[in-house]
Amino acid sequence: MQTLMNRYGIVGRNEALREALATAVLVAPTDLSVLIQGESGVGKEVIPRVIHDHSKRRGKTYIAINCGSIPEGTIDSELFGHEKGAFTSAIGEHEGYFGAADGGTLFLDEVGELPLSTQARLLRVLETGEYLRVGSSTPRKTNARIVAATNVDIPNAIKQGRFREDLYYRLCTINIKIPPLRERQGDAVLLFKKFALDTAQRYNIPEPIRLTPEAEAVVNSYKWPGNIRQLRNITEQLSILSESRSITPEMLAKHGITPNSDADTGIATIAGSNRSGTQHDYEQEIKILAHAVFELRSEVQELKKKLRGGESWHDAQAGTTMPVPINTQKGTSPIAHTYHSLSEGRNAQPLDMDIPTAEEIVDDDTLNIGNMEKRNILLALQRNHYRRKLAAEELGISERTLYRKIKAYGIDE
């Protein structure tokens, strides 16, 4: 087990995590489909790789695709391929991932995001090993082994009619559950040390940061709602930003890491976290709301100014529209994507920001619409501990749109 963990850079003593890894190795030689479940940021993505590398398919193709990042209109053709002329832009035929992964492993990440019509097609492949290209009625065979992962509560999605029950049972012939970090007693400190060391090596920092005994206790008792992704990001930030190499509870608190608290800050708190409302919370919330209202006012003033300056409403809107090529995963063609108006990315400012005047906003080139949107996405991700679902909710956009924007802006989570 230790050799396996070293090979994949997995750190942790937790029994449930080790059991999950052991199950992956055990089922690897079979062709059974596997569903990996766990909260966002718990480390699901390494499991399909372990399965592929320990199967007889290891010399063959391994394809990982993120179902949430492919636009709904093209997902069937991306997965199953299409015939020439199947739709207006289909100038040639396209093999699709199921064809490309024949004999190998196809990892369907974020499978809970698949549209219902695609779920029906997927069920058919799982049941019969056959699929239809878009625009074709001739079934094709594929011998791709399917491993899927999701952070969505699928039974709940089934109740809401967003996920097919039959597909769920078909997918989870083998069910691997990855525990959240808060249930892995002691692992957070081990992971902190690993990430501190990794960051020091990557950026040639002479000495990695370390936790004082008091800070270790905080890291251990904190709930880590964003799990390992959140821990990794905070460790990297502290490694780079902190002058002292010794990290204290006060320094952790500046990043929202406080003892026995899930330390949700920002809109997520207002939107219904279960924290008890202390005086401190109210102050935070009032500040956030004040910033949000101010930003809204600034935007209105900015638009008014543009209109007064002779710019038509249409021009003002056109300034916010920016085609950006996106590369979805592995070999998918770039897709032109149009950005929406400012209101979609509007968000609260971080608490320690100086409030700019409306004039400053207009004059400051770094605050053009694209930059503002990128910054707002980053802030929303941070505030929601890199849980994309919550960040998307906060931004008022769909998770799928958020995925595409993360890719388009090259945001490294």
Residues that bind ligand ATP (CB under 6 A): 9-12, 38, 40-46, 151, 191, 228-229, 232
Q: Which is nearer to ligand ATP, 57 or 184 (CB)?
A: 184
Q: Which is nearer to ligand ATP, 227 or 376 (CB)?
A: 227
CA 366 from centre of chain:
26
Q: Which is nearer to Mg ion, 132 or 181 (CB)?
A: 181
Q: Which is nearer to ligand ATP, 152 or 218 (CB)?
A: 152
Dihedral of CA atoms 323, 332, 385, 345 in degrees, nearest 10, equals 20
Q: In whole angstroms, how close is the CB of 109 to Mg ion at the nearest point?
A: 5
Q: Which of 290, 291, 287, 297 is closest to 358 using CA atoms?
A: 297
Contacted entry of Mg ion, ligand ATP, none for residue 40, CB cut-off 5 to 8 Å set by kind: ligand ATP
Taking the C-alpha atoms of residue 394 and residue 211, their distance in angstroms, rounded to an integer, is 32
Q: In whole angstroms, how close is the CB of 228 to Mg ion at the nearest point?
A: 11
Taking the C-alpha atoms of residue 157 and residue 35, their distance in angstroms, rounded to an integer, is 15
CB 211 within 8 A of CB 178: no
Contacted entry of ligand ATP, Mg ion, none for residue 42, CB cut-off 5 to 8 Å set by kind: ligand ATP
Contacted entry of ligand ATP, Mg ion, none for residue 12, CB cut-off 5 to 8 Å set by kind: ligand ATP
Dihedral of CA atoms 370, 236, 233, 176 in degrees, nearest 10, equals 140
Q: In whole angstroms, how close is the CB of 215 to ligand ATP at the nearest point?
A: 20
CA 340 from centre of chain:
21
Dihedral of CA atoms 396, 252, 182, 194 in degrees, nearest 10, equals 110
Q: In whole angstroms, how close is the CB of 104 to ligand ATP at the nearest point?
A: 20
Contacted entry of Mg ion, ligand ATP, none for residue 232, CB cut-off 5 to 8 Å set by kind: ligand ATP
Contacted entry of ligand ATP, Mg ion, none for residue 66, CB cut-off 5 to 8 Å set by kind: none
Question: Footprint of Mg ion on this chain (CB under 5 A)?
Answer: 45
